Structures are given as structure tokens and as C-alpha cells.
Amino acid sequence: QPDPLITEVQSWAQGWGDGVDATPYGLPIEFESDVIRRNVGWLTADVISSINFTPIHALDGTITPTGCAFERHHSGAIELKKEDYRLMINGLVDKPLVFTYEDLERFPRENRTYFLECAANSGMEWAGAQLNGAQFTQGMIHNMQYSGIPLRTLLEEAGITNLGDQIKDKWVYVEGADASSNGRSIPLEKALDDCLVAIKANGEALRKEHGYPVRLVVPGWEGNMWVKWLRRIEVTDEAVQSREETSKYTDTLADGTSRKWTWVMDAKSVVTSPSPQMPIKHGKGPLVITGMAWSGRGAITKVDVSIDGGANWQEARLAEPGVDKAMSRFYLDIDWDGSEMFLQSRATDATGYVQPTKDALRAIRGENSVYHNNGIQTWWVKENGESENVEVSS
């Protein structure tokens, strides 16, 4: 039968579409309205201090569209004008300084792409499969291109030469302008290495929910340290041991002791499609298996995919060479025979570290650890093309 979409003149081929002034700043077309951040209501007491999830299942490429990049705030996303913005650098510096936003724009800046992953990403999956969808299991992540000033530049402007060899023992304490302030201590060595004071993300001003007008970028380290609405950087002798670095974001082991300062996000990957929110609708034949991989310790060098629950693996194709502490996209193009699959992906990074199974992590950390779960995810893809989040024997 001839396709009427071809043989008949359609309304869109006849009349006008929108004029150029219809949407001065665009949103996705209405047909994509399900590609949105989602919240898991029972996770937190209130949306003001909560988290939502990037719809990673429906995205491709590596750059996360800013409008659906996950949010986490501790006291709500505040509105802070550039005119009202101040950044103070004080503590063990030669001359404590205050910068305006305009001052920051006058420092030489860099463009760098980095992933930001919440330490709690996949936390709900630690003790077992729980949420059905890549968005909910691995969606506390985004990957953006930041334009910003190296933190080193600002610290040198305030003067740290007096510290000499003591740099290794010093810290910076960073805090935000919101009511939570979300203060965190970061070793000065990391601050001088690759941290950025970002004023743009993906080419545009930071979104309110991502810390407008200025946020800290702490490449490869847990998202909580990427302080939003950054207002102060203090060079200190010791860690502050703030709420977010003692009572939260610490990892309790089986014997009841807890790891602290677990900043680095280890290598991890997930198949984003097919997945529970992305059923296969076309039946057997050519199938694109895709997903993303990242490591806080370097570039992704290799991703393997298994369709039989980890018994056998094939090397997937990286869409582009891996980038240091940024997300990689991988593809495995197969001819699906229509039988059930246990889909897994496994990332390897530049250090040679290979993403472990959840069982392997639990064997070391016990069942109460929650944060920093970088274990392998399994999707049970059924013959009808629908998927479920499961765990399989190791």
C-alpha cells in the first residue's frame, strides 16, 4: 500500500510553520516532552533539598543538554544576579581579595568538558536492583563544556607563594551563597591542578539550578564538591569537616567504620538504550546498543558490552576517543535474534581500572555503603523488547 504520508499532501507541506520570533529561546519540540528531568518523590523529605535525574535513556552523544541536566540543591535553587555576585578569596593568602562577576570575566579563561556525577548516583541500587530505568539508576550525572577561570589563577592573584612547600598539606574551603552554603574542603593540590571557576556551561550562562552566575568545577570528583553560587574560597591549614564531608558523602563499611574523603568517582558505564524506559519496538534485526562511560581518574579507553549477563564480552565502538574526566559514548551494533538478553557494559579507563560488578564492590564494602556505587548494571531485555532492571549471578 502506498504510504499516504507520501502520496497525500500534508498540512506541514502546505501552510506555514512558526516565524523566527515564536520562541526567542527555544525548548524541545512538544513531541519530545517526555524527555525531562524526573524526581523520585520518596527519596527525600522535600523538593527544596533534593535531587532529580537526567533522562540519559533518551539522549545521545556526550554533551548533556543543559535544560535536562540533573539538579541537586540543599536549600533550593536561588536567584543571584551578576550585579549582586561577590567572590571572596581569603585565609592563608598574601592579600585577601573580593571579585565581582565583571572582574572574573577579565581573567584568561579555558574551555573544558567534564562529567559531574553525584556521589549518590546508583546509591539506590547498592543493596539490589530497585528502580526501573537508566534515568533513575544512573541519571545523577551530566557532562558539559565549561568556560571558566582556572582556580589556580585566582589563588595566585591572591598570592600563595608564602606557602612554599606547604602546599601539599593545605586545603581550600569552598562555600556557596545559598542558605545551605554546602561548604566543602578540597586539598590545595587539587585546587591548583585542574579546578575551574566556571561562568558558562555549554556556551551559555549557567542555569539557575546549576549555580548561576558562578560555580566551581572539580573534575572527576563527586558532584557535591562542585559548589554552586560560589561565594568564598578560603585557604586553610586543615579540613573543616563540614556536614557534607562527615555526616554525608561518607561510605560506611561492613564493620561500621566509614571511609571519608572518597572524592574520586571511579570508572563506570551504563547501557542507556535499550533499557526499561527504552523498549525495543522494532523486533529482531539490526539493533543499536548504546550507552555512556566515564571515569574520574582519566579518559575512557575501552568499553565492553555483554548480552549474556557477563559470560562473554565484545568490545564496543567509542564514538570519539576518550577525553580526560569527560563522558564517552559507545555503540555496539548487533543483529538481534529476538531472544532475551542480559545486557551489561563495562568501562576501562586510562589507569587500566576495569569497572567491577556490584558483587565485587559489596564484597569489599559491605551492604551499607550506598555512595560511590560504580558497579555494572544489568538490563534483562525480554523477547518482546521490554527491559527490566535486574541483578544476575556473578
Partner 1 sequence: ETYNLGRAALPAEMKAWTVEVFPDGKNLPEGSGSVEDGENLFADKCAACHGDFAEGVDNWPKLAGGADTLARKDPVKTVGSYFPYLSTVWDYAHRSMPFGDAQTMTVDETYAIVAYILYSNDLVDDDFVLSKENFLDVKMPNADGFIVDDRPETEYPLFSKAACMSDCKKDVHITMKATVLNVTPDQGGDDSAAADTAVDAPADTVVASAASEGASEEAMAQDAPAAAEEQASAAPAATEETLAADPALVAAGEKVFKKCKACHQVGEKAKNRVGPVLNGLIGRQAGTVDGFKYSKSMKQHGEDGLVWNEETVQAYLADPKGYIPKNKMSFAGLKKADDVKAVLAYIESQGG
Three-state DSSP at 70 gives coil
Q: How far is the CB of 24 from partner 1 (least distance, A)?
A: 20
- Span near partner 1 by CB under 8 A; candidates 61-69, 109-117, 187-195, 262-270: 262-270
Beta bridge partners of 275: 278
Q: Does 18 bind partner 1 (CB under 8 A)?
A: no
The yes or no reply on residue 337 touching partner 1 (CB under 8 A) is no
Give residues 206-225 in contact with partner 1 (rule: CB under 8 A). Answer: none
Sign of CA dihedral 252, 255, 261, 267: negative
Instruction: Compute the least distance from the CB of residue 203 to partner 1, in Å.
Output: 24
Residue 349 CB, nearest distance to partner 1 (Å)?
A: 10
Looking up cell 539522549 gives 59
Cα angle value 123/58/290 (rounded, 5°): 80
Residue 78 interacting with partner 1 (CB under 8 A): no
Identified binder of partner 1 from the candidate list 142, 210, 232, 329, rule CB under 8 A: 232
Q: Which helix (H) or strand (E) holds 225?
A: none
Ramachandran bin of 199, using left for φ above 0, alpha for ψ from -120 to 50, beta for the remaining angles: alpha
Q: Does 30 bind partner 1 (CB under 8 A)?
A: no
C-alpha cell at 226: 562542585
With CA atoms as reference, report the closest residue to 233 among 325, 99, 80: 99
CB atoms < 10 A from the CB of 56, how many?
A: 29
Instruction: Return the residues of window 358-377 that contact partner 1 according to CB under 8 A.
Output: 360-361, 364, 367-368, 370
Residue 43 binds partner 1, judged by CB under 8 A: yes
Length of the chain in terms of residues written: 394
Cell of 182: 554546602
Name the residue among 193, 192, 258, 265 with its Cα closest to residue 225. Answer: 265
- The alpha carbon of 134 is separated from its chain's Cα centroid by a whole number of angstroms, namely 13
Span of 7-15, 17-25, 210-218, 230-238 interacting with partner 1 by CB under 8 A: 230-238
Strand 215-217 versus strand 196-201 pairing type: antiparallel
In the complex with partner 1, which residue's Cβ is closer, 99 or 146?
99
Phi (first) and psi of residue 90, to 5 degrees: -145, -165
Name the segment binding partner 1 (CB under 8 A); options: 18-26, 180-188, 212-220, 326-334.
Answer: 180-188
288 contacts partner 1 (rule: CB under 8 A)? no
Q: Does 132 bind partner 1 (CB under 8 A)?
A: yes
Q: Is 346 in the site for partner 1 (CB under 8 A)?
A: yes
**Near partner 1 by CB under 8 A: residue from 106, 285, 288, 383:** 106
* Binding window for partner 1 (CB under 8 A); candidates: 34-42, 196-204, 212-220, 327-335: 34-42
CB of 204 to partner 1, least distance (A): 23
Considering the rule CB under 8 A, would residue 317 count as an interface residue with partner 1? no
Which residue of 59, 129, 206, 289 would you call a contact of partner 1, by CB under 8 A? 129
Report yes or no: 286 and 367 within 8 Å, Cβ to Cβ: no
Selected from 28, 260, 320, 383, the binder of partner 1 by CB under 8 A is 260
Residue recorded with cell 568556560: 147
Pick from 116, 62, 64, 131: nearest CA to 303: 62
Based on the shown chain and the rule CB under 8 A, indicate whether residue 291 belongs to the binding site for partner 1: no
Output DSSP code: residue 253. -
According to the binding rule CB under 8 A, does residue 351 interact with partner 1? yes
Rounded to a whole number of angstroms, the minimum distance from the CB of residue 286 to partner 1 is: 22
C-alpha torsion sign, points 301, 267, 277, 116: negative
Core vs surface per residue 278-311: b (16+ CB within 10 A) or e: bebeeeeeebebbbbbbbbbbbbbbbbbbbebbe
Closer residue to partner 1 (CB): 20 or 45: 45
Of positions 56, 69, 80, 89, contacts partner 1 by CB under 8 A: 89
What span, in angstroms and rounded, lies between the C-alpha atoms of 247 and 244?
Answer: 6
Q: Does 37 bind partner 1 (CB under 8 A)?
A: no
Site pattern 159..178 for partner 1 (x: CB under 8 A): x-------------x-x---
